[in-house]
Copies of this chain bind each other. A is one copy, B any other.
Amino acid sequence: MDKTSAGRFFEDFRLGELITHATPRTITTGDQALYTALYGSRFAVQSSDEFARAVGYPRAPADDLLVFHIVFGKTVPDISLNAIANLGYADCRFLMPVYPGDTLSARSEVIGIKENSNRRTGTIYVRSTGFNQRGEMVLSFVRWVMLRKRDEQAKAAEAQVPKLAPNVTADALGSTCLVIRTAGWDSDLSGSQCRFGDYQPGERIDHVDGMTIEEAEHMLATRLYQNTARVHFNAFSEKAGRFGRRLIYGGHAISLARALSFNGLANAFHIAAINGGRHVAPLFAGGTIFAWSEIVEKADLPERSDIGALRIRTRASRDLPSTDYPVHDASPDTPGIILDFDYWALMPR
């Protein structure tokens, strides 16, 4: 029996295969404190038990992205250890709040396999799902990664590529958020007077602030998530690697951008879904992250008069302030842009 895992290669996946990931994890207030220390997040619902209770939660839930990172981290040893590239995310839905004390575990199903024409690599599509200790789904997302083959001669299964909607539809969002007591929503405490009605599609918001990343910080974060992708931790091997240095976990940039977005989106208290995220360029320690957002769409939610959903596209840049919203619409690959992140946030009315 092989005792160590060097990770799976392309030909190790079978369509329809179910993979139970290792290391369930009990989320604690310690995790949440570290999350705050790593990103400086200030959303009131996640920061204060009292604020959370005033609006209808039993207590402050864990930050949505902390949940995402921990579930994602569990999938890494089985799915993406030998990934050449994380090609994309889709249909990521946050289905239920996670509270300190809850225990998360994760499973993935292989939903697509496609060998590349070079026959040395291929793309695997998986749907990964996070569960709490009662077996309730708390998070579900699809991602696809390009993997090396161990053996170039290995015969690949027939190509199967899943059909993925370009984004999560708004009608699915409401059922996953408990009813918010908007009368209990104190806008002074939440940090903004702007509610759902105050945002308009097409609006752009510069989140103003910048945050520099140190090596110690992104490694603390990625280990906290028990994410084992070696490119983040091993300066010795990476010196001889593609970039000559450690690469920062893409989720670290997402969390930084989300924390910066408080300045302009303070009442966007909950990420209900992620439509997609693209890490436009690699990110390294020493870079300073800026972010700006565009309101792409607004949606009323069926039978919900308490909240509405904003579809937000957030771009993060490296060493490039967002003052002038630096993106050429024709070319998303503006130099300095590192993240293009499309998500649904809920906001009280």
Q: Are A219 and B217 in contact (CB under 8 A)?
A: yes
Does A311 sit within 8 A of B, measured CB to CB?
no
The closest CB in chain B to the CB of A101 belongs to: B49
Q: Are A208 and B6 in contact (CB under 8 A)?
A: yes
**Per DSSP, are chain A's interface residues mostly helix, strand or loop, or mixed?**
mixed
Does A51 sit within 8 A of B, measured CB to CB?
yes
Does A327 sit within 8 A of B, measured CB to CB?
no
List residues 199-221 of chain A with CB under 8 A from any CB of chain B.
199, 205-212, 214-217, 219-221
List residues 300-321 of chain A with CB under 8 A from any CB of chain B.
319, 321
Give chain B nearest CB distance to A173 CB in angstroms. Answer: 22
The residue that A24 contacts in the complex, of B6, B48, B133, with Cβ under 8 A, is B48
The closest CB in chain B to the CB of A6 belongs to: B208
**Which chain B residues border A208 with CB–CB below 8 Å?**
4-6
Q: Are A37 and B221 in contact (CB under 8 A)?
A: yes
Q: Are B191 and A103 in contact (CB under 8 A)?
A: no
The closest CB in chain B to the CB of A218 belongs to: B216
Does A22 sit within 8 A of B, measured CB to CB?
yes
Does A123 sit within 8 A of B, measured CB to CB?
no
Does A189 sit within 8 A of B, measured CB to CB?
yes
**Which chain B residues border A189 with CB–CB below 8 Å?**
20, 22-24, 105
Q: Which of A39-47, A91-99, A141-149 contacts B (4 or more CB under 8 A)?
A: A39-47
The residue that A235 contacts in the complex, of B36, B40, B286, with Cβ under 8 A, is B286
Does A228 sit within 8 A of B, measured CB to CB?
yes
Q: Are A25 and B47 in contact (CB under 8 A)?
A: yes
State the CA gap A69–B348 with chains docked (Å).
Answer: 30
List residues 99-142 of chain A with CB under 8 A from any CB of chain B.
100-101, 103, 105, 133
Does A26 sit within 8 A of B, measured CB to CB?
yes
Q: Are B223 and A4 in contact (CB under 8 A)?
A: no
When A105-B189, A234-B288 are in contact, do A266 and B22 touch as well, CB less than 8 Å?
A: yes
Q: Are A26 and B3 in contact (CB under 8 A)?
A: no
Q: Are B209 and A40 in contact (CB under 8 A)?
A: no
Does A150 sit within 8 A of B, measured CB to CB?
no
The closest CB in chain B to the CB of A104 belongs to: B48
Q: Which of A27-35, A163-171, A270-278, A338-346 contacts B (4 or more CB under 8 A)?
A: A27-35
Does A263 sit within 8 A of B, measured CB to CB?
yes
When A25-B47, A189-B24 are in contact, do A210 and B233 touch as well, CB less than 8 Å?
A: yes
Q: Give me the interface of A with B, judged by CB distance under 8 Å.
A: 1, 3-6, 20-26, 28-34, 36-44, 47-51, 60, 77, 100-101, 103, 105, 133, 188-194, 198-199, 205-212, 214-217, 219-224, 226-228, 230, 233-237, 246, 263-266, 286, 288, 319, 321
